[in-house]
Structure 1
Amino acid sequence: MFDVGVCDRGVYVAMELVEGVTLRTWLKEQARGWREVLALFVQAGSGLAAAHEAGLVHHDFKPDNVLVGARGGPWSATSAWRACTRSPAPT
């Protein structure tokens, strides 16, 4: 995300323009080796983990909401992110 704010029409989220296809399309458009698929899934999981560490949760993470950019790498295609608060760890 580049910016988040409020304007006279409501809240906005400015995200990078990613030229590519959805993860679902990427998986179906050609046969891919398990290493290539695993590498992309690990990148997506690492991105989710980093977002969780920053206090953000994506409430609709699925293949249709992930873009695989023409330059490679997965990107969230939605603004379905929510801030979360953490409960203290049990003692």
Structure 2
Amino acid sequence: MNADGLVVADVTALRNRRTVAAGVDIAYRPAVSRDGKVVLSSGTRVFAFGLSDGGQYWATSARFADMTRGGAPVVVGDRALLVDG
């Protein structure tokens, strides 16, 4: 993946594409929660965006960028976890 963000397409109207998380260098496959939030990991930071509106809900702080272990995001209930491996 690259820093172009995540392209979201409406399957009922494929012309209605938009980019979510523009500028985020997505390193792992995104995870989607039941309420329509997509959780992305760049390897050093984690972000959550709404699929319907593209708005950013939260992101980890720069302090979190020191994480020594990154991984793919997984949504479990109301928590987003990073899985190494």
TM-score by length of 1: 0.27
Higher RCO (C-alpha 8 Å, min separation 6) = 1
Greater strand fraction, Structure 1 or Structure 2: 2
Larger Rg: 1
Greater helix fraction, Structure 1 or Structure 2: 1
